[in-house]
Every structure is written in structure tokens, then in C-alpha cells.
Amino acid sequence: MSEHEARLHIIPLGGLGEIGKNMLAIRYQNTIVVIDAGLMFPEEELLGIDVVIPDISYLVENREKVKAIILTHGHEDHVGALPYVLKEINVPVYGSRLTLGMIEGKLKEHQLNDVKLHVVNPRDKVQIDDIILEFFRVSHSIPDSLGVALHTPLGIVLHTGDIKLDQTPVDGQVVDFRKLAELGEKGVLVMLGDSTNADKTGFTMSEKVVGNTFDELFGKCEGRIIVTTFASNVHRIQQVISTAAKYGRKVSVIGRSMVNNVEIAQRLGYMDIPEGIMIEMEDIDKYPPQEIVIVTTGSQGEPMSALTRMATADHRWVGIRPGDTVIISATPIPGNEKLVAKTVDLLFRQGAEVIYEREMGVHVSGHAAQEELKILLNLIRPRYFIPVHGEYRHLMKHAKLAESLGIPRHRIFVAENGSIIEVGRKKACIAGKVPAGRILVDGLGVGDVGNIVLRDRKQLSQDGIMIVVVTINRDQGQVVAGPDIVTRGFVYVRESEELIEDAKARVKEALDFCEKRNITEWAVIKAQIRDKLSKHLFDKTGRRPMILPIIMEI
């Protein structure tokens, strides 16, 4: 293929039209570079599903071309699918020191011991065939987050990663504005931009704001202070610790994932923990309340989290008591609103003061709002713009923002997972589609739960099941045992004997009906039973349990 025919293919495999499972492939000739490999937590209707990961059949089909997976940062929606991906295609992984530090444990859990992990630093360059990867610092709600520019023979493809423009980040490491400006000045062919907060006006507040709030609250509190936040928000935890130090309080970290992350961040030098400030949870009661701060998991109201267990007096070492102040330093992820509200109520019931309101300044987002997005677009002024990371409305809002800044509409692509955005020097278009979608992980099964299983779970969850068993003597066509009826999740059997006896009578009618007409096909007999029972049960109860006739033959 001569060079003037060369094309870039940009293929989002996840994270478009959804929040989560971010993954995007960039292909140039025989080289594919993958950015992120995230998971998503299942929506309510995916009953029983543990996690959702992207469909990577396109990568598997082109496995010999896939040369690198880049991780922009360590959040689950960017790294959580990595073990599943590496089991299919074991390729080198690039990421910052903290990001790779955080995934090591997970890879071990999955018995992935021969993964090639390459630590990269901001401004590092890495050559992958004809592409040079150039990493740059961004701010987000986890330290050591990166964006990446791919210098390809056709031009620069720039991916912001998850980004906010924090002018006063906790670690002093601001977004690499000058690198962004330099790339913009050189000319960026394609920009891929984080859209998560594209429907929020104004600026996202700095992480430091939360530190100031902590300072104010810690200064006033006379009892124990319990702060809950995301386990990966190392800077938030740092601010809790720093504020505790200022007010002479000891700090105990509770909750497995948070303990892990603090351990990793501290070991890798991402935290500044004053000597002697940390105490074990067993020792909390050795100090007076005004000398204690607890940082803990459970900010999403997760029923098994440390905070929920404290609030339900189910935690081994810590219980909530009057005088405690609990700070919910997080906002509910969409779908978790009720769980969080329930936790707040539980805490109040235990007598704690709870600070949870949005306007209290105890949480800030990790994603850029509209004014920041405008700054990014104006710094970079790409030829083509592709909003990524967001539900459809966020992508649309981001696209409209770009248009309002003068990027022509035909150079903005609101794409879908699986879209092939083909980019040449002179033009770009959506040139096709690769398989994309959600792969459901349930227990050990990856992809074995499909629509039929989910539909059945749905029906079972709503009205339960009625199982009808009959044993028939095949030779004589006679019922020799049954009908027996067993139900689960439908009615409380001890109070419904009449209903069950009636149901048996209906089954007998159906069997008689079939016998008289010499119907011997099981499928027809079962259908008869199902129809008769279904109508009967709905008339009596207004419910539609799954009806499962089983015919045994002797």
C-alpha cells in the first residue's frame, strides 16, 4: 500500500454511549494500539451479572497486529477488563507507575504472571512500529493520570484520557498545558476528548477545595471524624491525612481496597504520611474521640463495605455512635443514589452527624466541565474531533461545544462502539463497523449468559416459578405419579394450599383433555398444561409465574 493511500482507523470498542468499559483501538497499517481496557458495573436489568466488559473479537481477529495496550489511569472503568483481554491476547502494557502498581495485584489474582508491564512517565516517548506514543500529564481523581499523543505518519492522534484542568492539584502536578499547546501548534489530526461532564456548565472545582472544606470541618468537630470516599482517590485520602495531622488526630484506614491502595501509593511515593500518624483499627478506642479520624470505603452505600457495616453495628472494630461526624466525600454514581441515601439514614439513626449534601463542598468531580473542555479544544484545535467517554447525550453536548468553537460539523464524529472512523490526510468518515458490545461476566463465565438466560431471570424475579411434574407410563399413556406442584418465589405455599390444589386440578384437566384426544406429543401436552395453568393463576393472583411442566416417562 503506497503511503498516499494510507489510512488511520480509529475504533472505539467501549465507552461511547455509556459511562464505563472504556476501550479504543487505533490502527495504522499493520499496527494496532489499544487505549484502556475498562469494565462497567452492570445495570439493574442485567440480573446476576458481576461485571460487563467490551467485546474484543476485533482485537482477537487481528491479534498479530495488536502491539500495545496503553492504560491512561488506574480506575476500574479503564483497567478492569485488562485481565480478560490479556487472557486472549498477551501484549505489552504501558502505563504510569501508580497505574501499573494498582493492577499488579489483580493480574496475580487472575494468574497472569508473564505480562509485560512497561512504566512510562509524562513526556516519555515510545516507538511502536511506525507510531510514536508520547505521554503527557493530566489531572483526574486518581494520581498519575496520563493522556497520550500518537505521532503517526498521517499526523497526531491525541487522546485526553479522563481529564480535568485542576489549577491547584494536591500533588502540584498540573496538566501539561505547554505540551498540549505544542502539539496543537504542530497540528493535531484527531482529538479524542473526555465527555463525562460535557453537560455541566462552568468549571469543575479543584481538589484543593475539598481540602479547605476538610480544614473547616476538622477545626469544628469535637468527636471522631469518619470520612468515606472512593478507595482509589489517593489525593482525597492524602488531604484527610494532612488535615488530621494539622489538628493532631490519628488516622485509621479501613476497608480492604482502600488499605491496598494506600499501601501501594505510599510504597510508590505518591503519599506523604507523617511519621506515627497511622494507627490500626484495633487501636482506635485507645484514643479519645477528638484525636481520631477514620478514612473508609463505602461512599457508594455498598452493602458489604466497611462504612455500611459500621452503620449497621456489623463491623468488628468500629461502630458509629453519637458524637461521630461522618463526611460522605463522594457523590453517588448514577444508580447508587438510593443505596447512599440509605447509608446516610443509617448513620443518622446511630446518632452521627452526617455531612453529605452536594453544596457542602466535600466532593469535586474528576472530569472537566464545559469551560475546561472549551479551553482544551481551543489549545488543540484538532482537524477532526471525536468525543469519547460518555452517554450519548454527553457526546452530543461535547460535539456541540466543539461546533460552537468553530470546528466544522462534518469534522466532528459522534460515533458508536464498533464504528470504524477512517481518517486520511484530507478526509475522514465512518467507514464501517466491527463487532462491539457488551460481554457479560457472571461468576467464572465470560460471555455465557445471554438474552435467554437474562429473560428467564427477569421473569423468575418478578413472579417466581411453578414446576409441574408428572410421571407417565409411555406404553399405557397413563399418569402413574403426580401431578406434583412445586413453586418458588410465587406465593407462600403454606397459605396457598387451595390455590395449589386448584392448580393440580387444572393440570389434571389438561392431561385428561390430551388423553381423550390421543395427544401424545410432549410438547403439545406441556403447552396445554402451561396455557391452562397460566390463565388460572393470573385470574386468581394477577401474577404470571414461569410455568415449567416436566414429564417423566417410565
Residues that bind a copy of itself (CB under 8 A): 17, 43-44, 47-48, 199, 201, 334-335, 337-338, 341, 344-345, 348-349, 354, 356-357, 359, 391-393, 396, 442-445, 448-450, 452-454, 456-458, 460-465, 467, 469, 471, 480-482, 484, 486, 488-492, 495-496, 538, 540-543, 546, 548, 550, 552-554
What distance in Å separates the CA atoms of residue 413 and residue 391, rounded to the nearest whole number? 14
Indicate the residue among 201 and 518 with the shorter CB distance to a copy of itself: 201
**Least distance CB 453 / a copy of itself (angstroms):** 6
Strand, coil or helix: what is 366? coil
Q: Which is nearer to a copy of itself, 186 or 455 (CB)?
A: 455
Burial state string for 489-527 with b = 16 or more CB within 10 A and e = fewer than 16: ebbeeeebeebbeebbebbbebbeebeeeebeeeeebbe
233 is known to lie in a ligand binding site: yes
Tell whether 190 is in a known binding site: no
55 labelled ligand-binding: no
Contact residues for 381 (Cβ-Cβ < 8 A; gap 6+): 184, 188, 407
Is 367 one of the catalytic residues? Answer: yes
Least Å distance, CB 217 to a copy of itself, is 17
Q: How many helices (H) and strands (E) does the chain have?
A: 15, 25
Nearer to a copy of itself by Cβ, of 180 and 388: the residue is 388
> Can you tell me the distance from the alpha carbon of 340 to that of 347, in angstroms, rounded to the nearest whole number?
11
Q: Measured in whole angstroms, how far is the alpha carbon of residue 82 from the centre of its chain?
A: 13
- Alpha helix (H) ranges present in 203-272? 207-220, 234-246, 256-267
Annotated catalytic residue within 159, 367, 394, 398? 367
Cell numbers placing 14: 467501549
3-state secondary structure of 548: strand
Calculate the alpha carbon distances from 536 to 458, 500, 504, 532 in Å. Answer: 21, 11, 11, 6
Give the residue with the Cβ less far from a copy of itself, 98 or 529: 529
Q: How far apart are CA 486 and CA 225, in angstroms?
A: 52
Cβ at position 452, least distance to a copy of itself in Å: 6
Q: What is the dihedral of CA 491, 459, 461, 333, to 10 degrees?
A: -150
* Distance (Å, whole) CA 515 – CA 551: 14
Q: Which is nearer to a copy of itself, 192 or 449 (CB)?
A: 449
Considering 36, 166, 194, 463, which one is annotated as catalytic?
Answer: 194
- Identify which of residues 3 and 44 has a Cβ nearer to a copy of itself in the complex: 44
User: Is 232 labeled as ligand-binding?
Assistant: yes
Taking the complex as a whole, the smallest distance from the CB of residue 472 to a copy of itself amounts, in Å, to: 9
Do the annotations mark residue 475 as ligand-binding?
no
Q: How far is the CB of 527 from a copy of itself (least distance, A)?
A: 16
**What CA–CA distance (Å, rounded) separates 163 from 145?**
8
Grid coordinates in use for 508?
A: 389434571
Q: How far is the CB of 213 from a copy of itself (least distance, A)?
A: 16
Active site residues: 194, 367
